[in-house]
């Protein structure tokens, strides 16, 4: 009687190759997921900084309504916390040099917000022209 060798199951080498392929694939998926999370976090911080900058511009416009003689050149620095993250800001308001006829009507406001993200300093800068004096009612 002859014994026939049946080919059932996998050899140890085939199993090791399968586990290796599965491990490399899993590592690539985890790495891609981590990169995507960092990108989402960075985008969220940029959006939050832009919203905070817009709020500072709105505060500046509202405060200019109560200032007699209108806005003048100044620099303001400080920090604001939002969603557990600290943002430092520099607000720079300057008179418009050219053309001179706009100098009486507008000022240029520039705000830069900066924050720490993944051991790097990131920043967002917004610039706008604001009315120097409130419109008479």
pLDDT, tens only, 44-69: 999 999 999 999 888 888 877 766 66
Statement: residue 136 has pLDDT above 60: no
Residue 111 CB neighbours (<10 A): 23
CA-to-CA distance for 33 and 80, rounded, in angstroms? 30
Tens of pLDDT, residue by residue over 8-28, are: 788 999 999 999 999 999 999
pTM for this model (two decimals): 0.72
User: What are the chain's domains?
Assistant: 12-131 (3.30.1300.30)
* Residues recorded for the chain: 137
State the pLDDT at residue 72. 81
């Amino acid at each position: 009687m002859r014994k026939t060798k049946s080919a059932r199951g996998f050899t140890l080498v085939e199993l090791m190759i399968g586990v290796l392929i599965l491990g490399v694939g899993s590592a690539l998926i985890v790495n891609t997921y981590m990169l995507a999370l960092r990108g989402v976090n960075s985008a969220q911080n940029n959006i939050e900084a832009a919203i905070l900058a817009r709020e500072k511009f709105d505060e500046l416009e509202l405060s200019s309504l109560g200032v007699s003689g209108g806005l003048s050149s100044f620099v303001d620095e400080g920090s604001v916390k939002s969603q557990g993250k600290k943002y430092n800001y520099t607000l720079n308001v300057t008179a418009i040099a050219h053309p001179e006829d706009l100098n009486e009507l507008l000022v240029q406001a520039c705000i830069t917000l900066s924050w720490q993200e993944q051991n790097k300093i990131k920043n967002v800068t917004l610039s706008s022209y604001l009315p120097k004096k409130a419109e008479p009612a």
